[in-house]
Structure 1
């Protein structure tokens, strides 16, 4: 098996802070071209908002196994790093740099695993593909969503997709994500009548109505969860009236809420519930809802079992199937095909001195190779 360390270092040295690519995808495309992959450049957006993406495929047979990942990273931040965050320095067998964990490490591991698979199986007759975006850490408008639309139009939807996000909590292989909760954000603005606090009968205090609305949204238990998901959660994230005067009843009051919901709900149904609760209390009420992702679940099948088996073969860990955490591009992929997420331990992602140990990176490469061996050859 090849060594993913040099490839990861090359990728980290590209300061690809969303939406800048800084050459990261070019490195991957050149590597894949040498293997015989067909490359499709898929940039979306205009001007400074343009995002680089690409789709690459090797083979045309079945099964079709796709790896999805992102080359963009979050900024290094203001806190001092022990090294240049884009230098990819190695100290005591640990690679440091922005993106080492999230998720250039996962991409490097999978590329090297594919190189090893094709070297060992010159008779390979399935399909392997890469869906690589530069918009995962950003708004997600010009990345995976549009690439998937292109893939469907050109008949490239895979049988299964593995997203290489850093899913593990403590030990490599301890968690595989087979679903994610949905996420909904709502802005609730209640209109009132401004007035003097000494004459409340001449005013209409919107804060009082907003407090009642928020209680009606946070008091009910939406559900008890189920086999794969924890209970849904409604959280108030902001209450604002912009009032610095003690004797003034404000004219408006605004609140923001977030709901992380399981697959017992849909975003549209929850949006309707929020609107109903609000207008029961306040006729003059405006509700804006943004659904950033629906809940999804991939029922464990052969591919998920292959991931579990590969992990156990390499380091003896028994993986836990999980749906917790935030959102990822898997929420978009789930609309088209079964998807799971498995990658590095995520303890340093987005942090100062983000890092991955060389041992962990090589173990992940071995796991990715074995996953493909099991899927394509039932090894």
Structure 2
């Protein structure tokens, strides 16, 4: 069997075959999980590419290779969680550094920047980047990194990756893009000028709510070596079994994302017409203020929908309590539909004042649309919303 040509194959083919060659000994189509923590050396300091599993593991390497191929990058690095990706990248900056982050950022990232990085001498400035030029006045001589998500979590604001990359590079900073919400299927930030793209693998890439992992991808060899050194030194690496599960999930990413988006579009359109909904936020709707930007830099609109209900948190809780198929839980990107209230769940670590500025109110609801039958999901939302306002 000839090696897969990663430069010419389609997304689905790469998702299945990249980093996934049949076992050279048994010819098993699915390579066995490499659980060994250490590897035999032919002489002192001479090995076949693996010496200790924290530094590198065959199963992890297969997963890293596959994600890098899907993101159009040269190097992939797997981590024990999405948060450990963040911590490891920030650790490369050093004390006395400054970073700029989009203000509407995942609560765990906000917490790390404000409660941990700040104590280690790294200052963070949070900026509304719905308009790219807003970032200009916030650069300092020691600004080394710009961190964005797009769409943002949870208000689904779209950030112009190419414009931010150009400005960051002009100031000598590099750009990191959290691409978790879009997955490599719908968006490839490296092709738009980003230097590093990161994912919480826990979400769409794994796709089955049974693995906690993270990954970083870059084509910059210098950045790769810095992050890899910190990865090995800090040791926040995933287990071989988790890498196996995530690689398995990756095989169906294309068809899963297609169904996530199809369902999300239908549900967003339904919610716009529901009498109990004040506003629907979905980049695939013409009503989204950055719909045209989303069409330019994305290949689709994804499976995340946020909406504002009428009434109060009491109405929201009544709705949540009557849902049958949609599960009240944190996280996103699984095959099952999950719903949450960011103000009191995923973004509880963000101060009330900052939540108010961002529009993360008690009646803002975030829905991760799964791949169930969409008619069942709409019926579930309808009956729960009707009961919430009796």
Rg larger in 1 or in 2? 1
Above 0.5 in TM-score?
Answer: no
The structure whose residues are more often helix, as a share, is 2
Give TM-score, length-normalised by structure 2. Answer: 0.29
The structure whose residues are more often strand, as a share, is 1
Structure number with the bigger relative contact order (C-alpha 8 A, sep ≥ 6) is 1
